[in-house]
């Protein structure tokens, strides 16, 4: 009939194209990327089909976990990614190292405990929070990092735009909320109340880390209200681990050490000058 005039019927789709399509649909990108290589390996090593499949599936699982951790880190919005590997505990003797290492195992998150880190500026509070936040991401926990001022700003903006409930729900949902730098900026009455609500909603439901340069007895100056501060401390410190970071600023100490190093030759020259002067 007309068959001779129409284009030849397409042949069956090659299996590798179909496989690629199905693997994409099943969201198995690592299997897709690796199966040819692993198949060649399996042939070389004489692996049976089950072991070939096992190797591929293990690769997918490892990659999936790495992608999940990366997603958690991005979602946390850390200002920088820092870990305990680069933290020098010897520089801050007031910090309870065994407690910090214990906290790095993140069991306090399951227990819904809080952490408060108190200490003067530059002593490593933010670094410790970032490292604890990273450890939580690596264990697959959802984390959000904010500064107290930034959080209050977000809350006020959400309230003005009538999406406060949504933001509050998002903040309640994260397993670990890190609120850095409470105390640097005094809060307005509304700001203090909104922040209080966040802590209150998380109380005994999820963990919160707070850092402050102020000792507890000065927190009233931030919240501007003794009753609110009392209620807030009551909730935050109910199940709490306190980290004390008191000492000289790490950066200041480092730059002093650097200055001492570069100043050293000048002193030696000065000394040799005086020695010559004395000798002549
Ligand atoms: P804080 O938040 O207490 O003001 P930071 O955590 O911001 O202090 O520390 C200031 C800088 O010094 C950061 O770059 C931090 O990584 C570094 N730093 C502070 N303490 C240490 C430490 N003990 N070991 C390594 N780096 C540190
Ligand atoms: Mg800081």
pLDDT per residue as tens digits for the range 225-260: 899 999 999 999 999 999 999 988 998 888 888 888
What is the radius of gyration, based on Cα positions, of the chain?
29
Which residues have beta carbons under 5 A from ligand 2 (an ion)?
Answer: 125-126
The sign of the torsion formed by the CA atoms of 176, 181, 186, 188 equals negative
- What is the CA(210)–ligand 2 centre distance, in A? 11
The pTM for the full model equals 0.85
| Ligand 1 contacts CB of residue 97 (under 6 A) | no
Contact 121, 246 (CB under 8 A): no
What is the pLDDT confidence band of residue 61, given thresholds at 50, 70 and 90?
very high
C-alpha of residue 120 to centroid of ligand 1, in Å: 11
How far are the Cα atoms of 155, 168, 269 from residue 278, in angstroms, in the given order? 71, 75, 14
State the SS3 of 158-223: HHHCCCHHHHHHHHHHCCEEEEEEECCCCCCHHHHHHHHHHHHHHCCCCEEEEEECCCHHHCHHHH
- The number of residues making up the chain comes to 280
Distances (CA, A) of 256 to 92, 193, 226, 263: 16, 42, 40, 10
125 lines ligand 1 (CB under 6 A): yes
pLDDT-derived band at 269 (thresholds 50, 70, 90) equals very low
Alpha helical stretches, state H, the chain: 15-25, 29-45, 49-76, 97-103, 107-110, 125-138, 148-160, 164-173, 189-202, 220-223, 226-236, 250-279
Give the C-alpha separation, 1 to 5, whole Å. 9
**DSSP classification of residue 139:** T
- The CA 124 to ligand 2 mean position distance, Å, reads 7
Give yes or no for residue 126 CB within 6 A of ligand 1. Answer: yes
Q: Label residue 276 by pLDDT band (50, 70, 90).
A: very low
Query: Can you give the pLDDT at residue 108?
Result: 98
CA distance 104 to 92: 17
Ligand 1 atom at minimum distance from 254 CA: 12
Dihedral angle at the C-alpha atoms of 199, 144, 206, 202, nearest 10 degrees? 20
The Cα–Cα gap between 83 and 195 comes to 28
């Amino acid at each position: 009939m007309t068959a001779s005039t129409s284009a030849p019927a397409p042949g069956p789709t090659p299996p590798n194209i179909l496989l690629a399509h199905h693997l994409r649909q099943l969201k198995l990108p690592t299997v897709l990327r690796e199966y040819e290589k692993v198949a060649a390996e399996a042939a070389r090593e004489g692996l049976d089909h089950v072991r070939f499949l096992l190797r591929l599936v293990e690769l997918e699982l490892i990659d999936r976990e790495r992608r999940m951790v990366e997603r958690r880190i991005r979602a946390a919005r850390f200002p920088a990614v820092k870990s305990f590997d680069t933290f020098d505990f010897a520089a801050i003797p007031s910090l309870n190292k065994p407690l910090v290492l214990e906290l790095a195992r993140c069991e306090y998150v399951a227990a819904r405990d809080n952490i408060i880190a108190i200490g003067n500026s530059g002593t490593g509070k933010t670094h410790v929070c970032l490292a604890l936040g990273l450890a939580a991401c690596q264990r697959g926990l959802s984390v959000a990092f904010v500064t107290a001022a930034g959080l209050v700003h977000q809350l006020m903006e959400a309230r003005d735009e009538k999406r406060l409930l949504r933001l509050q729900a998002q903040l309640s949902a994260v397993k670990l909320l890190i609120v850095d730098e409470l105390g640097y900026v005094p809060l307005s009455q509304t700001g203090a109340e909104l922040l209080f609500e966040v802590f209150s909603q998380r109380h005994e439901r999820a963990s919160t880390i707070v850092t402050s340069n102020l000792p507890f007895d000065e927190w009233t100056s931030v919240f501007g209200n003794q009753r609110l501060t009392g209620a807030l401390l009551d909730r935050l410190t109910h199940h709490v681990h306190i980290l004390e970071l008191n000492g000289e600023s790490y950066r200041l100490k480092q730059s002093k050490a650097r200055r001492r190093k570069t100043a050293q030759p000048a002193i030696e020259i000065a000394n040799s000058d005086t020695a010559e002067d004395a000798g002549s």
